[in-house]
Chains A and B, each alone.
Chain A
């Protein structure tokens, strides 16, 4: 087991098998966020938070496109099973006590977003000597950086005044989503002989 991705090849690139598995995981997670955002967003944007949802959706789509076009994809026979496992985990689970079903969904979506954007740090797995301008490397760094910004909308919402009365339930929902994301992320990395601390 290693703490970082690799071994890198002579050109400083991450092995395509590792690229494929990580890219698939990220596409699954960020794709789930994009789907949830687009189904929550009304056709006409009328409220300030609608604008934020739209911005989030566009950034998630950018991340998906970036992964799609920067990864050296290779066949991975385990992906169908893994994708099924990942996708079922991302399914909405409305938080109880949020007032109504819709708000419960919003909290869960934000909790999952918080877990994905805060809990997954792909750039931290890049080993020393990696080619700094390799597209996959650049993409991982960009995704981690953008995740730090995307996280802000989730933090603002989850810490916002409208949820103060259910703060403990919100904290539990966020913890639960973090645990799920962490478990899948570390399990996926373990399959690549990488142990994430």
Chain B
């Protein structure tokens, strides 16, 4: 297993796929580790990509700084890893916490990547997310890693997945408990205590960007992803149907397919973000469809957007007027 040394810290990473293929670097979320990328990674490898997955600093088998860890340290690790991978197009995809680091990297080193894929990610910490994060940190402190994982399972997965996988959740929890350390997870969480919103800097991201979000993600809900879309110049938002926060696990093959399609489009010069909104297909091989025009993609119920010319005479307003008369 290869190791990368960055600022005297050891980072555990794995390379898969053809050596001459375009590279996808994958950044994990909190409590995750390399092995959990396997189905996602295999989906990319099957389409000819070389995949670099790694345990982020403080997680898995990589070094775990005892007391202090900054998000800039994570960016430096990613920088060194990408440099070690050599020339050729590099696509960076990160989920949740990993997505935040991917965004930071794309802001700081805009010309070193061919494409960016933030998944279930965010550039700011509004009150709901701050309170959820605080609750998760408290859960970790008072109840340990297992309690935190118990809290995360229903946020990460659908009822269908939780029912179908009921027999392996215990083992998955045990493995997560074994490979994670309380202090290391806590350090990662506390790296958000001094978090400054990235939103004002998103406009400096020059790489084509595909933002992926789960339809039912309530940990990092769609407005957070939409904020990325509206601020990153060459971006598109893709909604993964029926998915929750951790769709790289629950819908790994589909998510990998969508990312591969994006990378192929970028390399072929076909990708045109234009801040558009798309719905991913239900299955691998399907087509992405544009979000229906005229409807608000941030609502769960089909609310028509006000038309720019006559916002006060929109259909819902007319219906309300008719009802009241």
Give chain A's interface residues, CB within 8 Å of chain B. 114-115, 118, 121, 124, 145, 148-149, 151-152, 155, 158-159, 167, 170-171, 174-175, 178, 197
Contact partner of A124 among B141, B144, B178, B190, CB < 8 A?
A: B178
CB distance from A112 to the nearest CB of B (A): 12
Determine the residue in chain B with the shortest Cβ distance to A115. B66
Contact among B66, B142, B144 for A118, CB-based, below 8 A: B66
B158-198 residues with Cβ-Cβ distance < 8 A to A are 178, 181-183, 186, 190
Residues of A within 8 A of B3 (CB): none
| Contact residues in B for A152 (Cβ distance below 8 Å) | 141
Asked if B218 is at the interface of the complex by the 8 Å CB criterion, the answer is: no
Interface residues of B (CB under 8 A from A): 61, 66-68, 141-142, 144-145, 178, 181-183, 186, 190
Beyond A155-B67, A159-B67, A178-B66, list 13 extra A-B contacts (CB 8 Å).
A114-B66, A118-B183, A148-B145, A148-B182, A149-B141, A152-B141, A155-B183, A158-B67, A159-B190, A171-B66, A174-B66, A175-B66, A197-B61
Q: Chain A residues with Cβ under 8 A from B61's Cβ?
A: 197
Are A151 and B182 within 8 A (Cβ)?
Answer: yes
**A114-B183, A118-B182, A118-B183 given as contacts; is B141 within 8 A of A148 (CB)?**
yes
Task: Determine whether the beta carbon of B182 is less than 8 Å from that of A170.
Answer: no
Contacts of B182 in A (CB 8 A): 118, 148, 151
Q: Using Cβ atoms and an 8 Å threshold, which residues of chain A touch B183?
A: 114, 118, 151, 155
CB distance from B145 to the nearest CB of A (A): 8
Q: How far is the CB of A124 from chain B (nearest CB, A)?
A: 6
B144 & A145 in contact (Cβ 8 Å cutoff):
yes
Shortest CB distance A12–B (Å):
17
- A171 CA to B187 CA, complexed, in Å: 13
Q: Is the CB of B178 within 8 A of A171?
A: no
Q: Using Cβ atoms and an 8 Å threshold, which residues of chain B touch A175?
A: 66
